[in-house]
Amino acid sequence: MSETTNTNTNTTASATTTEALRERALKLDAADQLADRRELFALDDGVYLDGNSLGALPAHVPARVQDVLTRQWGELRIRSWEESGWWTAPERVGDRIAPLVGAAAGQIVVGDSTSVNVFKAVVAAARIAGEGRDEILVDATTFPTDGYIAASAARLTGHRIVPVAPADVPAALGPRTAVVLLNQVDYRSGRLHDLPGLTAAVHAAGAVAVWDLCHSAGALPVGLDEHGVDLAVGCTYKYLNGGPGSPAYLYVAERHQAAFDSPLPGWNSHADPFGMTPDYAPADGSARGRVGTPDIVSMLTLEAALDAWDGVEVDAVRAKSLALTDFFLECVEAYVPAGRVTSVTPAAHAERGSQVALRCDDAESVMRRLIERGVVGDLRRPDVLRFGFTPLYVGFADAERAARVLAEVLAETAGA
């Protein structure tokens, strides 16, 4: 889809337009079935639109973490590995994430970083694909780390990296393709890629599909099991609100678990981890994706944060996400001076994640001024303003206010 340029011919919106949009925002918030979730989070009077980088803190989490520190660690100490369930946390928390990405229990293990899990997944996928296939296709628009990790995995396994735009993947597939690593949502533009269609194309070519869900999990339905995804990875500190540096997760479809050969076979993934034997024998199931001792404090912080999802349907989250981003784009169109921003986020719902990216001259200065006025988004150099919409705590009044403040900043900087 081509980029959409703001065509508002007025330098400022009329008072009537502003009042009408504010009234609509209030009505939409009043009808929002997820509105009560906002009070579960520690938020100030500003507008927080950076949940696609770091989700807001669920208000109950500090007390839960205090218990981990003072009782579980401080009093029970080593006994907590069994009595507090520390040892089983990677699989238990994985099962909490599973319904949010459309997976049955027993297929997700939590631990390590996204980068480490990408490495595990790509190398294991290449081994699953077998001999005679020597190409790894990687999303040419991917977050840089995925590309770095895939290139390293290719060097280690004797494969060749083939960068390709997601839309061009079907044409690039062939008998030499072993693995395809793709992002479901582009981190710059918010473009949603066709996970079902691309996964089917990869399978038709006899290859293995690995998906990065960092910008989709917790924002939209993923359907890992439904669409036959082979392996997937994702972070938990964005829409899942797990906290800075919270552990990532690895999904291995049940049908691949027996053949999953991790390139990082640590003692935690051993079938008998306390046997301390010199030879490695992998554990069954998702535990095979573990490596070393899990980061328990961060793991249990994430587990507590996931309580905010209890009773929430991902379909309802997706419906609100699309309504929020639609409304924000409408407000930008109404408020922002003509020609000052260009949306690089697709207008079509089928192609949109849960963020809006606006190309803007002097974007760094504009974002700094927005943050000073309480509207927190982020920047992707050189010229993209990113606004992430987390439906659990962002409302329609937030969207209207953010667009209005953006217009004020741009009007003040015109010709500066």
3-class DSSP state for residue 115?
A: helix
- Dihedral sign for Cα atoms in the order 283, 286, 292, 298: negative
> What is the token pair recorded at 53?
């980088």
The residue annotated as part of the active site, out of 119, 143, 328, 393, is: 143
Give bridge partners of residue 180 from the DSSP assignment.
137, 209
The residue annotated as part of the active site, out of 112, 186, 212, 230, is: 212
CB atoms < 10 A from the CB of 333, how many? 16
238 is an active site residue: yes
- Full DSSP string of 95-111: HHHGGGGT--TTSEEE-
143 is an active site residue: yes
237 is an active site residue: yes
Alpha-carbon distance of 168 to 173, in angstroms, equals: 9
The residue annotated as part of the active site, out of 386, 387, 393, 396, is: 386
Q: By CB neighbour count within 10 A (0-12 exposed, 13-18 middle, 19+ buried), where does 348 fall?
A: exposed
The residue annotated as part of the active site, out of 238, 290, 320, 404, is: 238
In SS3 terms, 251-306 reads as EECHHHHHHCCCCCCCHHHECCCCCCCCCCCECCHHHHHCCCCCCHHHHHHHHHHH
Give bridge partners of residue 161 from the DSSP assignment.
136
The residue annotated as part of the active site, out of 237, 239, 327, 396, is: 237
Alpha-carbon distance of 3 to 116, in angstroms, equals: 34
Residues belonging to the active site: 143, 212, 237-238, 386
